[in-house]
Amino acid sequence: MTVTAAAGGPPDTREAAIVVRDLSKTFGDFVAVDHLSFEVTPGRITGFLGPNGAGKTTTLRMLLGLVRPSGGTGLIDGVTYAELPRPLETVGAALEATNFHPGRSGRDHLRVLAATHGIPDSRVDELLALVGIPAAARKRAGGYSMGMRQRLGLAAALLGDPHVLILDEPANGLDPEGIRWLRGFLRHLASEGKTILISSHLLTEVEQTVDDVVIIANGQLVRQGTIDELHGETTALVRTSNSRGLIDALRAAGLEAGDEPAQGPGAVRVVTGDLVRVGDIALGAGVPVHELRVLRTDLERLYFQLTESPENRNRNLTDGALPAGPPTGAPPPPSPGPGSDAPEGSDR
Amino acid sequence: MSNLIRSELRKYFTTRMWWGMALAMFLVGALFAAFTGYFTLYGEMPVGEAMIKVSDAIPELTLVRMIYSGGIQFAYMLALVIGVLSMGQEFRHKTISNTFLAGPRRHQVIFAKVASLVVVLVVNAVAHILGALVGGGILLATAGRSLLPDVGGLGQTFALMALILVVWGLIGLGLGVLISNQVAALFVGIAFALIVEPLVGFALTFFEGWDVLAKFFPSQATTATLSLYSGVDPGLAEAMGGGGDQLTWWGGALTLLAYAAVMTLIGLVLTRRKDIA
């Protein structure tokens, strides 16, 4: 069940940077996190996804030693957070964008944190310049915009030059320009070999940024793998007036093909990205082609299907009654390959 | 550990409120010393049948001590507020997450908070005593009295005033951990010291044998620590609000330290287990 089993990616010989094993947390009789296990591969950006209330923040807070697990462990570099001798130099975390005293300047906020590890003020100023708020950080944090708070949070996470970053919803409240900046910034950090775990409730927000995904719903693992695995194999859509003839011809050529009623009348789905070949086969068979294009998986739709299937429906939105038979303790096994359960849907 | 203490000290000195607090301590010291000075130097009190001049009935050291510590009751309420806020602000603004991320071994953070709070309270105590020297000094000088009749004795008083402020601050810190809503913590702390304690103390006087407990209450122990009424006629002391059976100064100081130790311990235990959500 490791993300390392990535098709395409080089086999990783290093140990996972973050290991979550059987982690659980109950608040009263509410199960926030339910026997969750996953690993985060070093040097990659992993998206930690799930709807609001899925248990993402609780999981991250357990990993960071802020919340006491009811069961299981979360390890970073093989030890719990509290066992790290100089935690800020191993792990940088940005949790909520509201974690500032409104009367203290952003720079002083960082200086307070820096003091705990004997980090000099010059490093604070260096980071403020890196996240692009050197002047504003001398004003009191109460007046900061959401974007500035997120940037200040990132600067705080980077203070000790950690090699693992844990970011809880860093894109929350950012405008499109801010999200673009964040994407570039995270890519830059990843290129330095940092391991990044970034949570989000919106897949589209991180889709272009992450290498791997861990999807949870109702505190349980729903799926994990590389983003490419989630996309599935590339498929093509062909529209024709003779779908039977076309399917036969494609199958005769050794391609997997079938009707795709979801795409309207006469739509045929072929598992290949080679549009030229599909066109040639159709021509050879004398079948008219009205439309021919690559059909990409709509990840967002897949995400909703994964997180809103009956047993994963958001418990916070139901009338308190949990669905009858969620497979407790046994999260659905992730299907690594381009599974038949990965629904190909609308075009994009 | 010293890094954590430095971080905690930076927390105080990077917000305006703490400077305002020191200023308030100074002003409280000055105003109450001046007020007490006016009352004790020029006031008259009925003792039995006769009206006597207060300043004639009180030994000089006790009189001056009374003047300089005139604002202590208000000041230790402020110290309580400082203690509550030093923890409460962290919960209120959720900076406690960052604090524990930088210091995941939480007992160390609490010790650092205790150490830095002691420093901050000593600074505030100095501000308060300076204020008292200014406010009380002006009144003593205009009355033609000596400002420091017994330097050693007054030095002890000032040290004990600082101790009282430190101890009440630590009680506040424990309270701030115990009740993470700082407004509720402040309300409970001040209501206890100003309302509940006197009421319970009064109620205890109706129960034979139980009334000895009252002198161990924090406010009573504080008054005892300063020996405010030593050498004063019991009737006059009672008329001035300080009557009754009191602990010795060191008994009062030890009682207060015990309160601070218990509250800090409670804070330590609770903080280690707390989920920071």
Return the structure tokens found at A223.
Answer: 């799926």
pLDDT of the residue at A339: 37
pLDDT of the residue at A1: 43
Q: Report the relative pairing of strands A257-259 and B50-53 from DSSP bridges.
A: unpaired
Structure-model confidence comparison of residues A91 and A29, the more confident one: A91
Give the CB-side neighbour count of residue A203, counting CA atoms within 13 A: 21
A30 pLDDT more than 70: yes
For chain A, first and last CA: distance in Å?
A: 30
Residues of B in contact with A109 (CB under 8 A): 95
Contact criterion met (CB < 8 Å) for A61 and B104: no
The pLDDT tens digits of the residues spanning A200-248 come to: 988 877 888 899 999 998 899 988 888 878 777 778 889 999 889 999 9
Residue A334 carries which DSSP code?
P
A336 pLDDT more than 70: no
CA distance B194 to B219: 9
Average pLDDT, chain A: 82
Averaged pLDDT for residues A259-268: 84
Is residue A86 very low, low, confident or very high in pLDDT (cuts 50, 70, 90)?
A: very high
Contact criterion met (CB < 8 Å) for B102 and A117: yes
Residue from A24, A33, A66 whose CB has the most chain B CBs within 10 Å, to mutate? A66
CA distance B183 to B241: 30
Residue A105 carries which DSSP code?
B
Three-class SS string for chain A?
Answer: CCCCCCCCCCCCCCCCCEEEEEEEEEECCEEEEEEEEEEECCCCEEEEECCCCCCHHHHHHHHCCCCCCCEEEEEECCECHHHCCCHHHCEEEECCCCCCCCCCEHHHHHHHHHHHCCCCHHHHHHHHHHCCCCCHHHCEHHHCCHHHHHHHHHHHHHCCCCCEEEEECCCCCCCHHHHHHHHHHHHHHHHCCCEEEEEECCHHHHHCCCCEEEEEECCEEEEEEEHHHHHCCCEEEEECCCHHHHHHHHHHCCCCEEECHHHCCCEEEECCCCHHHHHHHHHHHCCCCCEEEEECCCHHHHHHHHHCCHHHCCCCCCCCCCCCCCCCCCCCCCCCCCCCCCCCCCCC
Question: Residues A95, A169: contact at Cβ < 8 Å?
Answer: no
- Residue B5's closest chain A neighbor by CA? A116
Provide the ipTM: 0.86
The single-letter code of the amino acid at B83 is G
A68 pLDDT more than 90: yes
Residue from B89, B100, B101, B109 whose CB has the most chain A CBs within 10 Å, to mutate? B101
Residue showing tokens 């009352």:
B39
- Residue B88's closest chain A neighbor by CA? A101
Contact criterion met (CB < 8 Å) for A103 and B98: no
Range of weakest confidence among A45-49, A196-200, B179-183:
B179-183
Contact criterion met (CB < 8 Å) for B3 and A117: yes
Which of B4, B104, B273 is closest, CB to CB, to A65? B104
Structure-model confidence comparison of residues B267 and B108, the more confident one: B108
Averaged pLDDT for residues B27-54: 85
pLDDT of the residue at A320: 43
pLDDT of the residue at A317: 57
CA distance A243 to A225: 34
B2 touches chain A (CB under 8 A): no
A331 pLDDT more than 50: no
CA distance A58 to A56: 5
Q: Is A167 exposed, middle or buried (0-12, 13-18, 19+ CB in 10 A)?
A: buried
Structure-model confidence comparison of residues A117 and B193, the more confident one: A117
pLDDT of the residue at A300: 67
CA distance A34 to B173: 36
The pLDDT tens digits of the residues spanning B152-196 come to: 889 999 999 999 999 999 999 999 988 889 999 999 998 988 888
A98 pLDDT more than 70: no
Buried (b) or exposed (e) across A185-222, using 16+ Cβ within 10 A?
bbeebbeeebbbbbbbbebebbbebbbbbbbbbbbbbb
Contact criterion met (CB < 8 Å) for A67 and B277: yes
Strand (E) positions, chain A? 18-27, 30-40, 45-49, 71-76, 91-94, 164-168, 195-200, 212-217, 220-226, 235-239, 257-259, 267-270, 291-295
Residues of A in contact with B3 (CB under 8 A): 115-118
Query: Which domains are seen in chain A, by residue range?
Result: 18-230 (3.40.50.300), 233-295 (3.30.70.100)
Residues of B in contact with A167 (CB under 8 A): none
In this structure, the number of other CB atoms found within 10 A of the CB of residue A171 comes to: 20
The pLDDT tens digits of the residues spanning B234-253 come to: 777 766 666 567 788 889 88
B105 touches chain A (CB under 8 A): yes
